[in-house]
């Protein structure tokens, strides 16, 4: 194992995370890698998150080379909060940590060693879903994605985001070269960044191991629950903006015309669901049925 020379910054992104934040912080404290600075960027929580974090830091800050807890007075949107957090990090490497997940004890050590031993800038890994033994089910084609050169990864990302953001580990210098996160997409941080990195020739690598425990719950940004909302509107608005500002042009450039049809139709479908109340009412059940029929007919026509 390489000598642990370089500082690693763990950037914890938190918002109204009182139920989970201590689990995440405890998992960071238990990391086998020693040289860690802890940076927490709270995005204006209105629950007890800030109180819990402040109390935890008083008791546990000795574990870290440096501890920073920044509290926004109000919610400034996800991407802006990330950029603020990055500006507070001093490590050679950055590990992003979402407050409702947990890191396995050797998460930082494994990521760090893989990067240092192979001179890599950006790597991802696998997750285990919280409370289960289920891993993210990678198909062979998805594993092959990480063996492609950056230009081919960029082409693939124009079609679909297959990357597990909670496992992201990279050199801070890469994020500096990218100019940070694109604040045009207020609640969509990861997908635009992967597109930007690969467009600049930065290859995304894969660590074939589980490093993160991933929690899915009703307050997750990408959660879509049939008992409350159908679609998270904040996330969808950013995702739709990315499609029409960037991905649509890439799909056309690469000749993915069928994807343009299907994905354009999906955005129209979801927009109608939101317009009809974003609940599984009578109208939206009819819309879903007709959308599925249209997709099936198009699929038979194209394929």
Query: What is the mean pLDDT of each successive set of 10 residues along the chain, which is 303 residues long?
Result: 78 97 98 98 98 98 98 97 98 97 98 98 92 63 89 96 94 98 97 98 96 75 53 96 97 97 97 97 97 96 88
CATH of domain 8-214: 3.90.550.10
- DSSP letter, residue 51: H
Placement of tokens 């074939």 in the chain: 208
User: What is the pLDDT, as a whole number, of residue 163?
Assistant: 93
Burial class (CB in 10 A: 0-12, 13-18, 19+), 20: buried
**C-alpha–C-alpha distance, residues 22 and 290, integer Å:** 45
Question: What pLDDT, on the 0 to 100 scale, is given for residue 99?
Answer: 95
* 62 SS3 class: helix
Residue 130: its pLDDT value, please? 82
**Domain spans in the chain, listed from the N-terminal domain onward:** 8-214, 233-302
pLDDT of 229: 78
Angle (CA) 210-103-134 rounded to 5° is 40
Interatomic CA distance for residues 257 and 244, integer angstroms: 14
Residue 1, pLDDT score: 46
Kindly give, in sequence order, each residue whose CB lies less than 8 Å from that of residue 278, ignoring residues fewer than 6 positions away: 229, 230, 231, 233
Compute the distance between CA of residue 298 and CA of residue 261 in angstroms, rounded to an integer: 9
pLDDT at position 212: 95
């Amino acid at each position: 194992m390489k000598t642990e020379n370089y500082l690693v910054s763990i950037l914890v992104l938190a918002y109204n995370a009182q139920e989970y934040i201590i689990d995440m912080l405890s998992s960071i404290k238990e990391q086998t890698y020693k040289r860690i600075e802890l940076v927490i960027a709270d995005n204006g929580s209105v629950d007890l998150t800030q109180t819990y974090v402040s109390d935890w830091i008083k008791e546990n800050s000795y574990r870290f080379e440096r501890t920073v807890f920044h509290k926004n007075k109000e919610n400034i949107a996800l991407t802006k909060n990330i950029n603020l957090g990055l500006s507070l990090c001093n490590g050679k490497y950055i590990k992003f940590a979402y407050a409702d997940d947990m890191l396995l004890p050797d998460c930082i050590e494994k990521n760090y060693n893989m990067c240092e031993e192979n001179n890599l800038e950006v790597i991802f890994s696998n997750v285990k879903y919280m409370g289960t033994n289920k891993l993210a089910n990678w198909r062979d084609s998805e594993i092959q994605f990480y063996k492609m050169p950056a230009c081919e990864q960029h082409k693939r990302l124009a079609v679909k985001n297959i990357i597990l953001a909670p496992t992201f580990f990279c050199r801070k210098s890469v994020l500096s070269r990218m100019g940070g996160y694109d604040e045009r997409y207020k609640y969509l941080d990861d997908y635009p960044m992967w597109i930007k990195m690969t467009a600049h020739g930065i290859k995304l690598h894969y660590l074939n191991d589980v490093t993160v425990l991933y929690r899915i719950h009703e307050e997750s940004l990408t959660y879509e629950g049939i008992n409350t909302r159908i679609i998270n509107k904040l996330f969808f608005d950013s995702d739709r903006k990315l499609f029409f500002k960037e991905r649509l042009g890439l799909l056309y450039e690469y000749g993915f015309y069928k994807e343009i049809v299907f994905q354009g139709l999906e955005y129209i479908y979801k927009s109608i669901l939101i317009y009809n109340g974003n609940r599984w009412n009578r109208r939206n059940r009819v819309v879903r049925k007709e959308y599925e029929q249209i997709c099936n007919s198009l699929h038979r026509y194209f394929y």
